[in-house]
A and B are shown apart, each in its own frame.
Chain A
Amino acid sequence: MESRILDVRGMTCAACAARIEKTLNKLPGVGRATVNLASERLFVEYDESALRLPEIQRAVSRIGYELAERIEDGDVTIPIGGMSCAACAQRIEKGLKKLDGVVRVSVNYATEKAALRYDPQRLRLSAIRETIQKLGYEALEITRADAAEEDRARKQTEIKRLWAKFLVAATFSLPLLYIAMAPMLQGLRLPFPGWLAPMDFPLVYALAELLLTLPVIGAGYRFYYVGFRALWMRSPNMDSLVAIGTSAAVLYSAYNTVLIAFGQFQAVDALYFESAGVILTLILLGKTLEALSKGRTGEAIKKLMGLAPKTAIVIRDGSEIEIPIDEVEVGDLLLVRPGSTIPVDGKVSQGESAVDESMLTGESMPVDKKPGDPVYAASLNTTGAFRFRAERVGAQTALARIIKLVEDAQGQKAPIAQLADLVSGYFVPAVCGVALLAGLAWYLGTGGDLKFSLTIFISVLVIACPCALGLATPTAILVGTGKGAEHGILIKGGEALETAHKVGVVILDKTGTITEGKPAVTDLWPADGQDAGELLRLAASAELSSEHPLGQAVVQRAQKDGLALEGAEGFRALTGRGIEATICGRQVLAGNQNLMEERGITLGEMAGRSEALALEGKTPMFIAADGEILGILAVADVVKPSSRAAIATLRAMGIEVAMLTGDHRHTAEFIARQVGIERVLAEVLPGDKAGEVKKLQGEGKTVAMVGDGINDAPALAQADVGIAIGTGADVAMESAGIVLMRGDLTEVPTAIELSRRTIRNIKQNLFWAFGYNVIGIPVAAGLLHLLWGGPLLSPIFAAAAMSLSSVSVLTNALRLKRFQPPARA
């Protein structure tokens, strides 16, 4: 199955999105098609052997929308110098087509540019440039098409276009509204030209209204084009409602204008031009505000996209050259100066510095970098200059993958969206039916009052708001997932986001999740008369040559404490027992009780201490020199500093926390006590972790599993919500619905709280969206008037309410941008 993300153009409401989904899901070969109204994107999975992309595009085009391919990582435009005729362009095209990895190429002689799509995995950009040079032409500095930039520019143009249309509409509809209302409000003594008085100059008055309405119709022609076209295709949408409602008003008024021209002056009382004009203006205003708000919902992702610098400094033949970031290739040696942003992912090869990776992980403290350490694109170098070797560029960088992950998530629908989707699919035809029935009923009920029944008909059509229904869920998810990304929380889908708010139990894997996942020296117990520093120095000097994780932990602690280590002679690893080495002439032993007993070393009170340390889940290591016990070092996997606070926050949020580990129960319980966990699932084999999750689910609880290792992947997949620690294995991240970029538990409560807030926001949005329609449509249909002579809803107020509904839903979703993580307990 091939899966693609495509831009959809021409959608106006949820009914459009539903129509596209329905059409595509019917196509043979399509596995799944999902349209996100808020991001205006189509996510489609299809069988390439049964269906090609142009066929999908044609199917969508037939129902009145346009699918545009998104610019991919392998899209590049290379300006070419030296072409003298069209034959040159053909020659270059032919030459480039021969390259393995070129998907398509088009060389334009007029613009002197070659537009290519190629597979970066199979072909290097430098090879493309080389080929052009070999053909006798000059490959100039390239510009890679930027999807985000293009998207932003397109949206800006759309906003400007809508704003201009609104201004034109407002310029004409304001005087239109004035001349329509002023004669009715004579008590206010509003200035009004006598030559336009409706009863004295009815035809002039009607024509003035008509001529003021025409430019407004021109500004809103798209509602008619799209609306009637959708109606013709039997898939009416919001535009259809606007088009029918305002057309009815304009046509009826035009008919009355003709009557006036033929002497029926009373028809001047039945002009509705101002209703049509003001409805169109208000809806254009609503659409403009909607476009503005929609643009803001994706700001988090745009912010991420804008983090990568435009250029990089590459070291070539010993000199520093600034090149566009698109020309950086894997293997290039790059220089990063203090204060500059790291352009691509790679590994430090020279120099040291501290790097602020907060934009990726949410961690505010800069991370120290030395040769061998990984660095990531878009992170900010703080103090020192360093060189690093590029390992991942373009779409392969961690930043690009994060963006893709979030974009994918934003395209998926949460189960909560299904109700809105279902309703919006039937909404518009139902509203048309209700409008007709209400109009007809009032016409018959009032003994043929066409004016009254037409008011009802138009009001029902224009107050109905499928847009708010369609926007309720995706806008909140857009903002919620974007906000998550800002905090280093990658939510991979609407389902994970929705389920996380119901989580009752969080199961935490121990190793690597609650703890650091690597041993560290936790205790130093020198024997009587011995010095703790000397004990550590001797042990670390002996372990210097050891590759055992316990030995490395001892060395790291000594280095951290700034101890000067001695060179070891005669180092020997004693399998299963420890090591021995000679340090400054002293025969040093480091190992377990068996080793000490084997060498006849008296342990004394150290034996008791060893037992106590073992009970705490620590590994005791005896250190002896020249046959005399010097003391004990204890090594253990230590709890991450943030774990206790994170777990306390989860509990304060009313969430039960459990720990899952394969460790011995004593060790597990000791760690659990340290971090405040009461429920411990210990001695669980890797293969049984998923089963333990299932057991808890069997208790009727919604379970979130937090882990980092390959062995956690099945449990992450089994849990209702899998949360992977981002510093862990790739498979864990693939199995999880949520990935935390920071390597600790701090963001687990943040992720759950974000989910709670997002779902609450979606529910509020749906409440408003449904509420507008449930209350507005009956009022517009004249129910209050029927029941107790209550008020009717003017079509103008109906249009204002309709526009407000979408704007209020979007504004509510934007409130999520103010989200703050829960207070640490």
Chain B
Amino acid sequence: MRVFKRILPLFYLAALLVALSACAALDVVANDASRAFGDVLEALPAAFSDEEGGWFLTAPDGAAKLQIQSQCVVLRVDAKPFIDAGLNVDERPEHNPDSLVFSTLGFDMLNMNVKASAKEQFASNLRPLRSKLGYHGAMDHYTLQIGEGAAFEWAKNLKKHSVSGADQEKDIVFVLDPEPLIAAGLDPEKVEGWSYAAVPMEQDGQMKEVWKLLKAFDLA
């Protein structure tokens, strides 16, 4: 009995950790990220493509597309401005002169069938992709890491920054990591339609300025 009493706190500890980690309802970030993505879809509807498979959220300027497939999210970016800025597409894994492709699962898993709506499919995808989803407090954005440093960000609130109350001017942002592209010959400052900027990001517990290629849109 005494031994049991002594280890009781450890049981409690273990039970609470299991309960917390297993409870999806407590994942407020994933739940709210799905809701916020729904708001984005209302402002910028997605289109379904049988040919390419999946839903496409196309940037207002058409230069970037977020492809939502089953279990997978793909970012397709118009390759032309990058080639014009010196990118050698032969050094890219996709060897595609039309698009730069970034995927959460890699290329082998592309073109899976999609049956649900864009919002439902995106929400469904967030479960397996949960480790790639985050919340960027300074921008009040949700971020989905897609691969090779590419990411898609969308505002928690399309109108206002939910903490500072300031107008939210970047409702969706396509983000590319310039480093692998620079390695393939790109001059990041010459990519038309993309801004090359230092973004404050948390790394190793500290806020750091990280250079990114960005394409942001105000939808509201």
Contact = CB atoms under 8 A, between A and B. Distances in A.
A444 interface: no
Given A203-B28, A263-B162, 17 more contacts: A172-B13, A175-B13, A184-B205, A186-B204, A196-B20, A199-B135, A202-B29, A203-B26, A207-B20, A208-B20, A212-B16, A215-B9, A260-B28, A261-B28, A263-B28, A263-B156, A265-B28
A318 interface: no
A50 interface: no
B17 interface: yes
A187 interface: yes
A270 B204 CA distance: 20
A185 interface: yes
B28 A187 contact: no
B204 A187 contact: yes
Interface in A702-731: none
Interface string A179-222: 00001111100000111100111111001100110010000000
B147 interface: no
B26 A172 contact: no
Interface in A166-186: 168, 171-172, 175, 183-186
Interface in B149-187: 156, 162-163
B12 A215 contact: yes
A265 B20 contact: no
A215 B16 CA distance: 12
Nearest to B21: A195
Contacts of A269: 137
A266 interface: yes
A23 interface: no
A264 interface: yes
Q: Which interface class (under 10, 10 to 19, 20 to 34, 35 or more) fits A?
A: 20 to 34
B133 interface: yes
A264 B9 contact: no
Contacts of A172: 9, 13
Interface string B28-42: 110010000000000
Nearest to B22: A195
A266 B13 contact: no
10 contacts: A175-B13, A187-B204, A196-B20, A200-B134, A203-B27, A204-B23, A260-B28, A263-B32, A265-B28, A265-B29
B16 A208 contact: yes
A201 B204 contact: no
A168 B23 CA distance: 26
Nearest to B25: A203
B137 A187 contact: no
A183 B205 contact: yes
A184 B205 CA distance: 5
Contact of B135 (A171, A185, A261, A265): A265
Contacts of B29: 200-202, 265
Contacts of B32: 263
Contacts of A208: 16-17, 20
A215 B15 CA distance: 14
A207 to B, nearest CB: 6
Nearest to B10: A171
A66 to B, nearest CB: 27
A172 B21 CA distance: 18
Contact of B21 (A193, A261, A263, A266): A193
B9 A201 contact: no
Contacts of A260: 28
A185 B205 contact: yes
Nearest to A197: B134
A200 B26 contact: no
A265 B163 CA distance: 9
Contacts of B21: 193, 195-196, 204
Contacts of A266: 137, 163
A720 to B, nearest CB: 57
A265 to B, nearest CB: 5
Contacts of B16: 208, 211-212
Interface in A225-273: 260-261, 263-266, 269
Contact of B26 (A175, A187, A204): A204
A265 B162 CA distance: 10
A184 B207 CA distance: 11
For the complex of A and B, the 6 pairs showing the least CB-CB separation, nearest first, are A186-B205, A186-B204, A203-B28, A171-B9, A211-B16, A195-B21
A823 to B, nearest CB: 52
Contacts of A194: 131
Contacts of A261: 28
A678 B199 CA distance: 91
Interface in A261-297: 261, 263-266, 269
B201 to A, nearest CB: 12
Contacts of A196: 20-21
Interface string B91-103: 0000000000000
A204 B134 CA distance: 14
A212 B14 CA distance: 11
Contacts of A171: 9-10, 13
Contacts of A187: 204-206
A600 B205 CA distance: 117
A319 B22 CA distance: 80
Contacts of B20: 195-196, 204, 207-208, 211
Contacts of B202: 199
A207 B133 contact: no
Nearest to B32: A263
B200 to A, nearest CB: 14
Contacts of B163: 264, 266
Nearest to A175: B13
A456 B140 CA distance: 29
Contacts of B13: 171-172, 175, 212
Nearest to B132: A200
A171 B137 CA distance: 32
A447 to B, nearest CB: 14
**Most B-side CB within 10 Å, residue of A175, A200, A269:** A200
Nearest to A187: B204
A195 B13 CA distance: 16
A706 B52 CA distance: 111
Contacts of A263: 28, 32, 156, 162
Contact of B28 (A175, A186, A202): A202
A186 B17 CA distance: 21
Contacts of A211: 16, 20
Nearest to B9: A171
Contacts of B10: 171
Nearest to B16: A211
Contact of B162 (A175, A186, A264): A264
Interface in A141-188: 168, 171-172, 175, 183-187
A172 B204 CA distance: 26
A185 B133 CA distance: 22
B204 to A, nearest CB: 4
A261 B23 CA distance: 14
Contacts of B205: 183-187
A199 B137 contact: yes
B168 to A, nearest CB: 15
Contacts of A195: 20-21
Contacts of A186: 203-206
A33 B151 CA distance: 75
A194 B135 CA distance: 14
A200 B9 contact: no
Contacts of B12: 215
A183 B137 CA distance: 15
A180 to B, nearest CB: 13
A200 B126 CA distance: 13
B113 to A, nearest CB: 29
A269 B156 CA distance: 18
Interface string A380-404: 0000000000000000000000000
A101 to B, nearest CB: 46
Contact of A168 (B9, B26, B156, B162): B9
Nearest to B36: A263
Interface string A317-347: 0000000000000000000000000000000
